Amino acid sequence: MLASINRKLGLLLFIVAAVYLYLSFQLPNYEYAPIDADVIPKGLGILLLVLSVFLFFSRVVETDAEKAKRNIPKKELGVIAAVFAMIFVYILLFEAIGFIITTTLFIFFCSWFLGYRAWKTNILVSLLFPIVMYAIFVFALGIVLPRGILPF
Amino acid sequence: MDAFQGLLTGFQVALSLEGIMFVLIGVVVGTLIGMMPGLGPISAIAIMIPITYGMDPAPALVMMAGVYYGAVFGGSTSSILLNAPGISGTVATAFDGYPMAQQGKAGKALAIAAISSFVGGTVSVVMLMLLAPALSSVAISFGPPAYFALMFMGLTAISSLSEGSTIKAMIAAVAGFMVVTIGIDPQTGTQRFTFGNVNLFDGFDFLIIALGLFAVAEVCMLILNRKNRSLSDDQKLGSLKLSKADLKEMSGPVSRQSFVGFLLGVLPGAGATIASFISYIFEKRIAKNPEEFGKGSIKGLAAPESSNNAATSGAFVPLLSLGIPGSGTTAVMLGAFLVLGVQPGPLLMTDRPEIFWGIIASMYLGNVFLLILNLPLIPYLAKILSIPRPLLISLVIMFSLIGVYSISFNVFDLYMLLVFGALGFAMRIFSFPAPPFILAFILGGMMEQAFRQSMTISNGSLSIFVDSPLPLSLLLVALISLLVPAFLKWRSNRLAYKQR
C-alpha cells in the first residue's frame, strides 16, 4: 500500500492539508468583509488535499537520479543533525553570551567537526570573522548585535 | 519623461561615485558567491539584504541587481573548472566548458564564457531599456483582476516549467502560499494560524524563508558533498587569448541566443536555467557538426552563457514594470525592493525614475565591470574556489543567522530559520522544487489582496475574472501552461508504465 515514496509523501501531505483545512474552518467570522479571511485558506487547503491525492495515486516512476538523491547514508544524516544541533545551541546562547564569543566558538568547532584540521587558520578565521562582522554591523550599519558578557 | 531623458537620469545615478562603488561591490560579491558550488543567486541576494538596511534605495538596489547578474556571471567559473556548477543557470555551461578545461584550455573556456556573458547581458539590457517602459505604460491601466490573473499565471508557469514532477511543484507552490497566510490578516484583523503566539502575528519575514529554504538547505547539500575536491593550487588555467577563428565561431550562437535568452527571461516561470538549456539544445540542433557538442565545443559553451545572462536581465522586465516577479530569484529581488520601501510596478518609472532608470543604466556599467573582473582577473578570483568546504559551510551558516537576526532582533526567528532550513533540505531530498515555494510566498499576500479587491468590486461574483478579455486570456494561458505539460508527462509516463 505504501510501497512507493510518493504514496508516503502523499499521505503525509494529505494529513497536513486536512489539519490546515480543519483550522481554516475554525477561523472566526468578520461580518463586514465581502470576502472573509477564511476564503483563501479554505481554497488552499482543498487544493493541497486534491494534489496530495494526485500524488498518492500518480504512477510516475521515480527516476534513478531522484532515488539516488534520497538515498543518504545514515551517518551523513547524523552529521547534518549534529550541525543543526550546534546551530540550536548557538541560538540558545547567542543573546546571553554575546555575538563575538558564540560566533568564534561556532565557526571553530563546526569547521573542525566537518573535518577542517588546519587549526591555525581556523582560529584566525573564527576570531577575525566575528570581529569584522561586529564592527561592520554595529559601527558602520548601526545594527546592534548582542554584546553579551563582553564590555564593548 | 521620455526614455532618453530617463536614461540620462539613470546614468547620473549609476555614474556617480556612490553608484560606481555599489555596482562594483554588487558584481564582485555576486561573482564570488555565484562561483561557490551550491550557493545560488537566491542565497547571494538574501545574504546581502541586511547590508542594505538604512541605505539610500537607489544605490542599494543597483548593488542588489549587481549581486544577481554577477552571480549568474560567476556561476560559470566553477562549472568550467570543477564541473560543479556554481548555480543552476550554469549547469549547461559545464557540458562543453569542463571538457575544454580538461583539454588544458580552461583559460580559453573562461574567456569564451566571459565574452558570451558580456554580450548576452548587454544586448539584454538594451532590450530591457526598450521593453520595460512600454510595458509599464500599458500595465498602469491593469485592475486587480488582471493583476490576480497575472500572478496566477506566474505561479502556474513556474510549476509547469520546474524540473521533475509538476504535481510536486504545484504542492510546493500551495505550501508557500499557505505559509504566507500565517499571521494577522491585514484586511479584517483576524488572526490566522498563529495559535496566539505573538511572534507569529506579523507572519514570517521573507528573509527567513529565503535564507532557510535556500542558504541553509544549500549548506546541508554542501555538508553531504564536503569531501568533493575544491580547486587545487596547481591547476593551470592556460592562456586566456582567443583567436579570430574562435571569435568567429562564437559570434553566431552568441548573437542568436542573446535574444532567445532575453525572451525566455521575460516570460514568467522560465529564467536563466531553462534559457541556458533551451539555447544549448537550439544550437546543437542547427549546428553543422552536432557531435562536437559535449566534447568541448565553442558553440556549446557560448550558447548557454550568452543565454543565461540575457535571461537574467530579461527577468527584470516583469519585475520593474509590473512589480510581479516571474521566478524564485526575482521574487527574492522583489523582497529586497520592499525591504527598502520601494514598490516596483507601473508607477515606479514615473514616481521613482532614479531607481527605475538607475538600475537599468547600472547594468551597462556592471557588465563592463564583470568583463574586466572575469577576463584579466579570473585566475586570482578563482582562488576563492580553494576555500576549504568546512570553513565555507560555517561561514554561510553565520551569514544566514546574522541576516535574520538583523531584521527582527528576535531569537524566535532564528529558530524558524532552522525549521525552514530543515524543510528546504527535505524538499531537496524528495525532489520538491523550492523556487515555486518562494515565488508563491512572495506573491501570496499580493494575490490574496488582488483577489479580495476584485471580489469587492464585483460584489462577490467570480465572473469579474472572465468578463473582461485580459484576465480571461491570462487565466486561459495559465490553465494551458499547466494542462499541456501535465498531459504530455502523463502520456509518456503511461507509455513507460505499459512497457514495463
The rounded distance, in Å, linking the Cα atoms of B423 and B428 is 9
Sorted by sequence, the CB contacts under 8 Å of residue A51 that are 6+ apart come out as A13, B167, B170, B171, B174
Higher pLDDT, B468 or A63: B468
pLDDT at residue B495, as a whole number: 75
- Domain residues for the domain of B494 are 3-499
Query: Cell numbers 524564485 correspond to what residue?
Result: B328
Quote the pLDDT of residue B499.
Answer: 66
Look at residue A109 and tell me whether its pLDDT is greater than 70.
Answer: yes
Please name the residues between 115 and 134 in chain A that touch chain B, using a CB distance below 8 Å. 115-116, 118, 121-122, 125-126, 129-130, 133
pLDDT above 90 covers a percentage of chain A that reads 59
Q: What is the pTM of this model?
A: 0.91
Compute the nearest-CA separation of A113 from chain B (Å): 8
Chain B residues with CB-CB distance to A44 below 8 A: 174, 177-178, 181
Residue in chain B lying closest to A85 (CA): B418
Cell numbers given for A143: 545594527
pLDDT score for B189: 84
Q: How many contacts (CB atoms, under 8 Å) link A and B?
A: 172
CB proximity list for B466: less than 8 A, separation 6 or greater: B472, B475
A2: pLDDT strictly greater than 70: no
Q: Do B192 and A27 touch (CB under 8 A)?
A: yes
CB spacing of B170 vs A51 below 8 angstroms: yes
Does residue A1 surpass a pLDDT of 60? Answer: no
Please identify among residues 154-173 of chain B the ones whose CB lies closer than 8 Å to any CB of chain A: 164-165, 167-168, 170-171
Q: Which residues of chain B have pLDDT under 70?
A: 1, 229-235, 497-500
| pLDDT at res. B229 | 64
Maximum Cα–Cα distance across chain B = 71
pLDDT average, residue stretch A10-18? 95
pLDDT at res. B10: 93
* Chain A residues touching residue B394 (CB < 8 angstroms): 106-107, 110-111, 114, 126
- Cell numbers placing B97: 566548458
Contacts of residue B229 in chain A, CB cutoff 8 Å?
none
Select the residue of B167, B227, B455 nearest A51 (Cβ to Cβ).
B167
**Total domain count, chain B:** 1
User: What pLDDT digit, counting tens, does each position of A113-128 carry?
Assistant: 999 999 899 999 999 9
Q: Does B388 touch chain A (CB under 8 A)?
A: yes
